[in-house]
Amino acid sequence: MTEEPVTLKQLNGRVALFTSTRLMLTSVVRVVYPYLAVFAQNLQVDISKISLAIGFSFLASAAAPFLAPIADRRGRKTGMLLGIGILLAGTLLAGLLPSYATLFLAILLGNLGNNLFLPAMQAYVGDHVPYEKRGLYLAITETSWALSFVIIVPIAGWIIEQTTWYFPFLLLGIAAAIMMLLVWRLLPKETRIENNASSVFKDFGKIFTNKAALLGMAFGVFVCGANEVINVVFGAWIQFSYGVEIAALGSASLLIGISELVGEGLTAYLADHLGKQKSVALGLIANGIVSLSLPFFNHSLTGVFAWLFLYYATFEIAIISSLPLMTEVFPRARATMMALLIAAFSIGRAMGDVLGPALWHFGISANGFSAAMLNMLALLALSLIRLPKAEIAANVEQI
């Protein structure tokens, strides 16, 4: 994929654009978690039906790799625009025709769109940023994940209290439309590489016979499964255990967002200085320890908030450190590889969405124990990954 040389100023501006766009995309899905019980009450359905919608959306979005080669063959910009457009359709459906069915579609298309935008964006960064600096730039783009909980989710809670449950989706749809226009206008057109179906499947074949790539995908399933068994129940857990209102759920989301920002800030340093694999391992071990410590914190709302802070901060170190590592597992089809990794993340989250509510019936500590075990499986997969060192310095445009 070629275009005119990118200066440092241009790269920084585009990374800011990517981060802002991801903020909107991520918020469409993340807004559901803390208000899961609120949506269920308004739609007069059981909480498990909302959890099922989340799980199915992650499972369906695992199909994204079959569209992701567009970003390798037709350009990173094309892949990003396609992802935003798909998500935009979902948000407008939920915002204009509110029902359980359209909420289901909004979550599904939101995950699918995000899973198309993300690998194209990460591949763009991989194309233009040297490996030794890539941890910083990818950590910057990942602040959008945390900022959605710091900024958008609490605002969405206030909007729900003042209006109705579906109005945030309409506003997020409008914001996504603006971001789509900005990406289309501000990102340069790339030279297309014509492809055919056989070349796309050839990329898949090469990746699925690559040991490091397969281990990377296994890592993705386990690490996101670990996070999701907590993620899917934390809002309902807090609401039912401590009787909090919507505003307090927004406060919990704000706290989680801040903890994720702390984790991402640490990652921006650790990934490039300690080393990507060591940084991931540190995050996994710390997150596993925090997961097992849940019974010691689960006696007061203050203790729960402290635990959530530690849990999400350590998870961010693991997951964000893994991204620059995975961009070099298969550089010749970087966007396709990252899409397969994100598909693995989605499968892991779908697994967690099924396990999380079932484990919660045995007490929230069961969720914490399961998260720790899944983290250890992720650590095992990570320890076996070996990068093609000869390729680390190749295929990267210096800035």
Task: State pLDDT tens for residues 218-261.
Answer: 999 999 999 999 988 887 788 888 877 776 777 777 888 898 88
Residue 207 is predicted with a pLDDT of 83
Least confident range of 89-98, 177-186, 215-224, 380-389? 380-389
Rounded to the nearest 10 degrees, the angle between the axes of helix 47-61 and helix 36-43 is 110
Q: Note whether residue 394 is domain-resident.
A: no
The burial of 366, by beta-carbon neighbours within 10 Å (0-12 exposed, 13-18 middle, 19 or more buried), is given as middle
pLDDT (tens digit, 9 = 90+) per residue, 130-169?
877 777 888 788 888 888 888 998 899 899 989 999 999 9
What is the DSSP code string of 48-76? HHHHHHHHHHHHHHTTGGGTTHHHHHT-H
Q: Note whether residue 240 is domain-resident.
A: yes
Q: Note whether residue 399 is domain-resident.
A: no
pLDDT at 3 over 60: no
What single letter denotes the amino acid at residue 294?
L
How many domains does the structure of the chain reveal? 1
Q: Note whether residue 253 is domain-resident.
A: yes
Q: Note whether residue 396 is domain-resident.
A: no
pLDDT (tens digit, 9 = 90+) per residue, 265-316?
888 778 777 888 899 999 999 999 999 999 999 888 889 889 999 999 999 8
* Confidence (pTM): 0.73
Q: Note whether residue 362 is domain-resident.
A: yes
Least confident range of 18-27, 82-91, 321-330? 321-330
CATH number at residue 308: 1.20.1250.20
Terminal-to-terminal C-alpha distance of the chain: 16
Q: Note whether residue 392 is domain-resident.
A: no
Q: Note whether residue 301 is domain-resident.
A: yes
Q: Which residue has the higher pLDDT, 378 or 261?
A: 378
- Nearest CA-CA partner of 249 in 311, 175, 170, 308: 308
Identify the domain containing residue 361 by its residue range.
Answer: 8-386
Least confident range of 71-85, 166-180, 340-354, 381-395? 381-395
pLDDT at 9 over 90: no
**SS3 breakdown of the chain: % helix, strand, coil, rounded to 5?**
80, 0, 20
pLDDT at 393 over 60: no
Least confident range of 19-23, 212-216, 393-397? 393-397
Q: 190: pLDDT confidence band, cut at 50, 70 and 90?
A: low
Q: Which residue has the higher pLDDT, 247 or 262?
A: 262
The burial of 51, by beta-carbon neighbours within 10 Å (0-12 exposed, 13-18 middle, 19 or more buried), is given as buried
pLDDT at 390 over 60: no
Q: Are 119 and 190 in contact (CB under 8 A)?
A: no
- Nearest CA-CA partner of 346 in 86, 63, 71, 120: 63
Place of tokens 């014509």: 194
pLDDT (tens digit, 9 = 90+) per residue, 45-91?
988 788 888 888 887 777 766 666 666 667 788 889 999 999 999 99
Average pLDDT on 92-100 reads 94
Place of tokens 């909480």: 47
